Structure 1
Amino acid sequence: MQPPLALSIGDPAGVGPELAAAAWALSDAEGLPPFFVVGSARVVEEAARRRGITVPVCTVKTPDEVADCFAGSLPVLDLADLPYTPGEPDDAGAELALNALATATGLVRSGAASALVTGPIAKSRLARVGFTHPGQTEFVAEACGIAPENAVMMLAGPSLRVVPITVHVSLRSVPDLLTADLIRSRAAITAAALARDYGIARPRLAVAGLNPHAGEDGRMGSEDMAVVAPAIAALRDAGIDAFGPLPPDTMFHAEAREGYDVAICMYHDQALIPLKALDFDAGVNVTLGLPIVRTSPDHGTAFGIAGTGTARVGPTIAALRMAGQCAARRATA
């Protein structure tokens, strides 16, 4: 048996605690691998009660104890005895979220846990307690000794996988940030990860153009000819099955999706709009290029609905399932 998955609680005032409990309640039906929450047993218990589900909680001191109790209760590595205050984030909760993230990452790096699944955080709150990273991805990358630019975000669902080359930047700045080397590097990391963690021996990478009609031979912008096409040529020279640049508006219908394993997109919304339109309840944020497996549900803290029982558990289940599958492939490689 591989070690259990580590699920960091995220901000305890958000939807993370109740979704962790709800995922455990459905773990048998969904065929999820054993996992444990790194956070607060009290918060998880009260979140489950508020959601109206019966979730016995057992506290564990090490991941080795998870296998003995997972069938009958949700294991929690208890870091803090905090009250459950859904929708009311505070500094104590942010400190717990940061501690949980650091602890869970360390357990996965040490091999005590097989993969990391991160609950949603509030970056502005974490900044108040000393968090200096743009997000959890950069934190985990640094903890693993990986430069942030070599940690690649992929969004994956049953219908589509997408990688945005530029992520949380303004649309105005995208053309200046795109370089052939950036596209080539992130696409190459993606191809290697699909082979290693998803069992796709020769991944097919469909590369989107930046401009309408992929620039139409320079009539609608020069970036596709000057930047994107050379990156694709370099990838092909390296033996990677990459093709494009493709007109972005014709890449995502059902027939087109059958022709590739991942869409390499130039900016955030170009990638995430089709992914969320097709796989809104099953999209998973995966960090590629790390020595560990890391996934996350593709949503935020949702403070406005925390504690109401209306948050959808599908993305958390999908993140746990994908983490388990990727970890199992690495274990048998």
Structure 2
Amino acid sequence: MTLPLALTQGDPSGIGPELTLKAHAARDAAALPPFFAVADPAHLARVAQALGLDVPIVETVPAGAEKVFARALPVVPLGVPVRGDFGAPQAEDAPATVRSIELAVERVVDGAARAVVTNPIAKSVLYAAGFAHPGHTEFLGELAARHYGGTYRPVMMLWAEELAVVPITIHIPLAEAPRRLTRALIVETGEIVARDLTRRFHLTRPRLAFSGLNPHAGEDGALGREEIDVIAPALADLRARGIDAVGPLPADTMFHSAARATYDVALCPTHDQALIPIKTLAFDRGVNVTLGLPFVRTSPDHGTAFDIAGKGVADPTSLIEAIKLAARMTA
């Protein structure tokens, strides 16, 4: 595909604008595909000037992005003003942050872009402005339903070359995880992951490895029965549907190099079981991928980093990897 990628602005007071500028500056060295930013050109110009980044900015439409990408950062304007003070997020910028996401998705829907790559947002800032969704991912699910019809359950996968992981329960208190971890949730998550690894990553028969919830995967019930009563029956359901699903396995022995060679993705009952190993192995290179959507969305695996915004020290590696992966998934 030759269509460009649509890159959202993220929270304009965070490091997203800096990362966008640095990614464009690294386009040749990193062999990046063409992309355009959905942002305020004047704000990006201010950021470039403040940080001493020599990145020309050209306001354009998506169809013109590839023509200018080699010499300048193409920016499709939001039509919404952006303040974007470094490290000082403002609720008044929330409409622009939301509009950037909406427009990026719309450009994929109308065939002007091949995928969406999102810069980090701050949910608390959006909540203060009346944002009604739990987070970025849920909003993308709503946009998918808006444009494509039907309902979608987005699934978060963290990906690096050496490991891909999926947390089955995500941003909930740890004490709630056993109650939320149902047979139906495990089966639904496994089906979405298997389908998108086939469709987006071109794996003929993806290998899914599931960890247990309890230490030593429950020790045959001595340390908890979730593996016996919930996880194992769910994996039997997945196998009955033709999905290669193994487990439940002890989480503490799943992530050394020899174990990782036996599966394509690890699915874990809790957030930290999944994210600790990938952030240990690939902290600067991990990519957040949303499965279960009718379009491709990737994102850097980090937040807005308001504490370093405007200091010129933000590392664009994760965003660069997110751009590369979005292109790979739509090749």
TM-score class, shorter:
over 0.9
Please state if 1:217 is matched with 2:216.
no
Give the deviation of 1:84 after TM superposition.
4.4
Structure 2 letter corresponding to 1:298: D
Give the deviation of 1:111 after TM superposition.
1.8
- Superposed CA deviations along residues 9-34 of structure 1, whole A, max 9, x for unmatched, are 01100000000000000011111110
Give the deviation of 1:206 after TM superposition.
0.6
Which residue does the alignment assign to 1:15? 15
Which residue does the alignment assign to 1:331? none
Give the deviation of 1:94 after TM superposition.
1.7
Instruction: Give the structure-2-normalised TM-score.
Output: 0.96
Which residue does the alignment assign to 2:181? 178
Please state if 1:205 is matched with 2:218.
no
Which residue does the alignment assign to 1:72? 71
Q: Separation in 2 of the partners of 1:130 and 1:313?
A: 30
Give the deviation of 1:188 after TM superposition.
1.0
Q: Separation in 2 of the partners of 1:198 and 1:288?
A: 11
Identity %: 51
Give the deviation of 1:103 after TM superposition.
1.1
- Superposed CA deviations along residues 219-242 of structure 1, whole A, max 9, x for unmatched, are 000000100001111111111111
Give the deviation of 1:66 after TM superposition.
0.4
Please state if 1:269 is matched with 2:268.
no
Which residue does the alignment assign to 1:142? 142
- Superposed CA deviations along residues 262-309 of structure 1, whole A, max 9, x for unmatched, are 001101000000010001011111110111000111111110100101
Contact persistence 2:84–2:90 (CA under 8 A): no
Q: Separation in 2 of the partners of 1:25 and 1:198?
A: 28
- Superposed CA deviations along residues 83-112 of structure 1, whole A, max 9, x for unmatched, are 441101112322211111111111112221
Give the deviation of 1:51 after TM superposition.
3.0
Structure 2 letter corresponding to 1:70: F
Contact persistence 2:84–2:93 (CA under 8 A): no
Please state if 1:237 is matched with 2:229.
no
Q: 1:3 aligns to what SS in structure 2?
A: coil
Q: Which has the higher mean CA deviation after the structures are superposed, 38-47 or 301-310?
A: 38-47
Alignment of 1:25-104 (within 5 A): 25-60=25-60, 62-79=61-78, 80-104=80-104
Q: Separation in 2 of the partners of 1:51 and 1:218?
A: 57
Question: Mind listing any 5+ residue stretches in structure 2 that lack a counterpart?
Answer: none
Which residue does the alignment assign to 2:249? 246
Structure 2 letter corresponding to 1:71: A
- Superposed CA deviations along residues 65-86 of structure 1, whole A, max 9, x for unmatched, are 1011011000011224434411
Q: 2:29 aligns to what SS in structure 1?
A: helix
Structure 2 letter corresponding to 1:44: L
Q: Separation in 2 of the partners of 1:115 and 1:130?
A: 27
Q: Which has the higher mean CA deviation after the structures are superposed, 227-236 or 46-55?
A: 46-55
Please state if 1:316 is matched with 2:315.
no
Q: Separation in 1 of the partners of 2:86 and 2:308?
A: 8
Alignment of 1:286-297 (within 5 A): 286-297=289-300
Structure 1 letter corresponding to 2:191: A
Contact persistence 1:42–1:84 (CA under 8 A): no
Q: Separation in 1 of the partners of 2:231 and 2:111?
A: 39
Which residue does the alignment assign to 2:120? 120
Contact persistence 2:11–2:122 (CA under 8 A): yes
Structure 2 letter corresponding to 1:213: H
Q: Separation in 1 of the partners of 2:303 and 2:50?
A: 20
Question: Mind listing any 5+ residue stretches in structure 1 that lack a counterpart?
Answer: 329-333
- Superposed CA deviations along residues 144-164 of structure 1, whole A, max 9, x for unmatched, are 11646x211000012110000
Q: Separation in 1 of the partners of 2:160 and 2:128?
A: 33
Which residue does the alignment assign to 1:227? 230
Contact persistence 1:58–1:75 (CA under 8 A): yes
Contact persistence 1:42–1:83 (CA under 8 A): no
